[in-house]
Structure 1
């Protein structure tokens, strides 16, 4: 025996260290089990999925979400499964699928998971057999029916499009609570608001058309078009919500509408911006963007992909993704108040269920007529 081990206190310390090391190995998953036991409603053989994932090479995700959106979720996932490397590519909502098709045709598709909010592109993806339809999440029974629009396709988040305004430059009684409030301000004093109202390009692609048409169907096409025609006198259209947010912060723009929660919430969480900017969910129609996730038919790492998607849909995953600006729709997720603390339930409580307009796979709200596309572009002076 080494001389140092003759000391009883030394032996006790080493036993404690050994116990800690063993516990650490278990907690990090390298001792053959995951960090936390699976919920009791998961399949009895779920541990075999965990074990099989250790022989895989990680998860490759094609999505239209940025690194700041993914980071909190991936960090939480890796606390559970540290051996699974998650790689995400930030692509356009349509580019996600176009790249998938191109790589499949070339025979080098390594995509495991697909995330996008383009409903029209999702329908095409399903028709082209891109979804692993045999996959059913262990969280399936805990999710609302509306969040499962097709076999193997789940909702990752329901993100609002809302109003942001410079509260330092508007009187409190001018702070808009609806699109109609903005219309009334412009109609009352068009000169003051000339080039001071901003929004994104409304009909630039299938996803933007879905968003715009969802609002028009919710409010009524005639009323919504009249709103856009009045706003069109003073509105400037931008391709980047980040650019609008900068102009709102500096006062170059007074009000922005139909701005994406996934892009704006993390910025509003900045205390300096919070002093300058206010926001509201439009009482006449808050479009809720349904962002979907699915395991690809080409998945090379099906077990790791399953663990990842199950975690995304779980209470823990839905809680983590809120820190990245996405919005949870699970009723059992409770978050502290603040811009990144909203859930579907919280917004419904704030403005009422009747004010919410979720996007869907319904062609009536998904695909506007060419006539409406032309009218909206003309109203906002957008060159197609």
Structure 2
């Protein structure tokens, strides 16, 4: 495979995980003969492009790598991926690989983010129950100063909402309490964390820890809380499209990502690697972890009737929310 990958000499990655740039550089150093091209776009456009190219029998990207776990599983289920049994498959935890096609590369906690000046340390919510109680007893702290991803416009947010509803008995009362604070409903993590950092927002619900930590490292006003009752863990899922133009280069890159070397490179970025046998410069996993597994259960999130029911109830809970602009560059 290695000599075939060298002969192909190119690797085209379609992704919404630009945080991984240094990992790509590590691969380039190991395999300089392979030119790597990365297209960074959102998960909806990724799915559209994968389907369009395959359906018109054109060469596709070589690796598709996205945080939208359910969308990735849907593409695999619909026949847009090819199987590849990586030699690192045996080291992968349960629930991180599906049909030797979809590979979860990370195990990233979903946390609360807050502004330390607006939320004193002695009242910071340490669990979902704490948050619900605080929203109901101290609403003046949160009024117009809560931000969360817009589940109607973000597939990742809808996936997390679905998981919250299945895990937490008071998920809907919590959504209603968040919605009563006239929250800002956003699609841009960069904008959300920027507003936590500058104090326009006091609290952000369901933020990816690795992304939040990258902000907290340069903005000491930001605090992160891993809820101690439970916290979701999500993965960046990769697969090789059935029409990959350079499939051997894709297999080589996927093997690198799943190897100890690649997993350490992921961990060095502050992103928790999926493998349990890798020493990474990160804190141990917090208790209460509830991984969202890579597999067919995620397809339920894309069932149109279930999706409509979830979004209708969420929309009612958020009826007083304010939608941020669709353009992530807008204020």
TM-score range (shorter-chain normalised) is 0.7 to 0.9
Contact kept? 2:106, 2:235, Cα under 8 Å = yes
Counterparts of 2:247 and 2:142 in 1: how far apart (Å)? Answer: 53
Contact kept? 2:58, 2:243, Cα under 8 Å = no
Counterparts of 1:240 and 1:302 in 2: how far apart (Å)? Answer: 32
Aligned residue for 1:73? Answer: 23
TM-score, scaled to structure 2: 0.88
CA RMSD of aligned residues (A): 2.2
State whether structure 2 residue 32 is matched by structure 1 residue 82. Answer: yes
Aligned residue for 1:313? Answer: 258
Q: For 2:110, what is the secondary structure of its paired residue?
A: strand
Q: For 1:145, what is the secondary structure of its paired residue?
A: coil
Ranges in structure 2 where 5+ consecutive residues have no aligned partner: 324-331
1:370 to 297, 308, 314: 308
Contact kept? 1:214, 1:365, Cα under 8 Å = no
Aligned residue for 2:86? Answer: 137
Give the C-alpha shift of residue 365 in structure 1.
6.2
Aligned residue for 2:3? Answer: 51
Where do residues 168-183 of structure 1 align in structure 2 (5 Å cutoff)?
Answer: 168-183=117-132
Aligned residue for 2:292? Answer: 358
Counterparts of 2:255 and 2:291 in 1: how far apart (Å)? Answer: 26
Counterparts of 1:127 and 1:110 in 2: how far apart (Å)? Answer: 17
Aligned residue for 2:109? Answer: 160
Q: For 2:86, what is the secondary structure of its paired residue?
A: coil
2:41 to 91, 102, 105: 91
Aligned residue for 1:331? Answer: 276
Q: Which is further off, 104-113 or 364-373?
A: 364-373
What does the per-residue CA deviation read over 1:86-135, in whole Å, with 9 as the maximum and x for residues that have no partner? 211112213212101212333432311111233443343224322112x2
Q: Kindly tell me: are residues 364 and 219 of structure 1, through their superposed partners in 2, closer, same or farther at Cα, counting changes over 3 Å? A: farther
State whether structure 2 residue 236 is matched by structure 1 residue 298. Answer: no
Q: For 1:311, what is the secondary structure of its paired residue?
A: helix
Give the C-alpha shift of residue 232 in structure 1.
1.1
State whether structure 2 residue 177 is matched by structure 1 residue 230. Answer: yes
Q: Which is further off, 232-241 or 107-116?
A: 107-116
Counterparts of 1:95 and 1:280 in 2: how far apart (Å)? Answer: 32
Aligned residue for 1:23? Answer: none
Counterparts of 2:8 and 2:189 in 1: how far apart (Å)? Answer: 38
Q: For 1:83, what is the secondary structure of its paired residue?
A: coil
Give the C-alpha shift of residue 150 in structure 1.
2.3
Q: For 1:60, what is the secondary structure of its paired residue?
A: strand
Q: For 1:366, what is the secondary structure of its paired residue?
A: helix
Q: For 1:103, what is the secondary structure of its paired residue?
A: helix
TM-score, scaled to structure 1: 0.76
State whether structure 2 residue 52 is matched by structure 1 residue 102. Answer: yes
Counterparts of 2:253 and 2:298 in 1: how far apart (Å)? Answer: 30
2:145 to 172, 196, 216: 196
Counterparts of 1:124 and 1:179 in 2: how far apart (Å)? Answer: 30
Q: Which is further off, 320-329 or 160-169?
A: 320-329
Contact kept? 1:143, 1:330, Cα under 8 Å = yes
Q: Kindly tell me: are residues 124 and 356 of structure 1, through their superposed partners in 2, closer, same or farther at Cα, counting changes over 3 Å? A: closer
Counterparts of 1:187 and 1:364 in 2: how far apart (Å)? Answer: 34
Q: Kindly tell me: are residues 192 and 210 of structure 1, through their superposed partners in 2, closer, same or farther at Cα, counting changes over 3 Å? A: closer
Give the C-alpha shift of residue 383 in structure 1.
8.8
Greater Rg, structure 1 or structure 2?
A: 1
Give the C-alpha shift of residue 355 in structure 1.
4.2
Greater per-residue helix proportion: 1
Contact kept? 1:218, 1:357, Cα under 8 Å = no
Aligned residue for 2:328? Answer: none
Counterparts of 2:311 and 2:37 in 1: how far apart (Å)? Answer: 37
Aligned residues: 317
Aligned residue for 2:329? Answer: none
Q: Which structure's relative contact order is higher, taking Cα pairs within 8 Å and 6+ residues apart?
A: 2
